Amino acid sequence: MVDAGIIAEDERIELVEGELVVMAAKGYAHELVKSALNEALVRVAGKDVRLGVETSIQFAPGVLLEPDLALLVRKKVRESSAGYVELEQGGCLLVVEVAQSSLGYDRGRKAGLYASFGVQEFWVVDANERSAWVHTGSTSDGWSSIVEHGPHDTLTTPALPGLTIKLSELE
């Protein structure tokens, strides 16, 4: 569609089961939280993982998502036939969506999609309130656990031992 001039290369659009979903522009709180989380993840990420920032990932034909942050197993990343990042089973350790105006979409439809595609852990971070919902135990039907964390709670993940984040402390 970019080659045909239907959409511009820099338009914020995700392809979800054949439907184009227009994403809102990112505000100050979103960018601040995303950048701080990126820095925290990079500090503890090892050589076996790749941290994707707004990487277009083709999870399946007709599903192209662009998570704010994605922690990927380096050896399970490959190029799809359409030229996007594609993952082997178990290749996505953690996806983080920072929400400022998209909280309902991220906690609903996107959470379900990430679970169905085997993402091991999914965080939805509310950039305004500095709270997070941590989803674990993905199945084709959803998540076996969703735990809400407040701004002063410590976030950790088995994907990155040694990572500790308090959203209230992000600058």
3-state secondary structure of 51: strand
Please state the domain count of the chain: 1
The domain in which residue 109 lies consists of: 25-169
Name the pTM for this structure. Answer: 0.85
- pLDDT score recorded for residue 102: 83
Q: Classify residue 7: in a domain, yes or no.
A: no
Spell out the alpha helix ranges (H) of 14-164: 28-44, 103-105, 111-116
pLDDT in tens, 27-82: 788 899 999 999 999 999 999 999 999 999 999 988 889 999 999 999 999 999 98
Domain with residue 148: its CATH number is: 3.90.1570.10
Q: Classify residue 72: in a domain, yes or no.
A: yes
Helix (H) / strand (E) element for 58: namely strand 57-60
Task: Report the C-alpha gap between 144 and 130 in whole angstroms.
Answer: 23
